[in-house]
Amino acid sequence: MKEAFKTSGSSPTDEGDSSPTEIKQMWPGGPLRQYSNQRPASNWIPYDGVGYVGSYVCNSCGKVTSGVYQTLEGWMCAEHRDNIQIQRLSGKNSHRRAAA
């Protein structure tokens, strides 16, 4: 599984600054990322000469995350990537453990 580039400094510092942000797909089939025409925080980086991009967004839960991972189902946060791998493993093995 390939690891996507992670944003450094994963502590968001939204100090009451309410610049409008949207979610943008970086390229067809690519990961989702926060996007804004104005720079909401210093850790956002210039993008395409017209705007700024912030943290990545999970394809599955839509939550902002410090890094996303490419899966067959899309770009997902570590939690959902792990869920998919667990599902796949348990799918191959038809035995199910009874819940206690």
Tell me the closest approach of the beta carbon of residue 13 to Zn ion, in angstroms.
Answer: 22
- How many residues touch Zn ion (CB under 5 A)? 5
Sign of CA dihedral 77, 80, 86, 88: negative
Q: For 18-61, where are the E strands, in sequence order?
A: 22-25, 32-36, 45-47, 51-57
Q: Decide whether 17 or 88 has the Cβ nearer to Zn ion.
A: 88
32 versus 77: smaller Cβ distance to Zn ion = 77
Among 14, 61, 85, 88, binds Zn ion (CB under 5 A): 61
Establish if 58 lies at the interface with Zn ion (CB under 5 A). Answer: yes
Q: Of the two residues 53 and 58, which places its CB atom closer to Zn ion in the complex? A: 58
> Is residue 3 helix, strand or coil?
strand
Is residue 55 near Zn ion by the rule CB under 5 A?
no
Residues 6+ apart with CB under 8 A from 60: 73, 74, 76, 77, 80
Query: From CA 43, how far away is CA 11, in angstroms rounded?
Result: 9
The verdict on 77 binding Zn ion (CB under 5 A) reads yes
List of residues contacting Zn ion (CB under 5 A): 58, 60-61, 77, 80
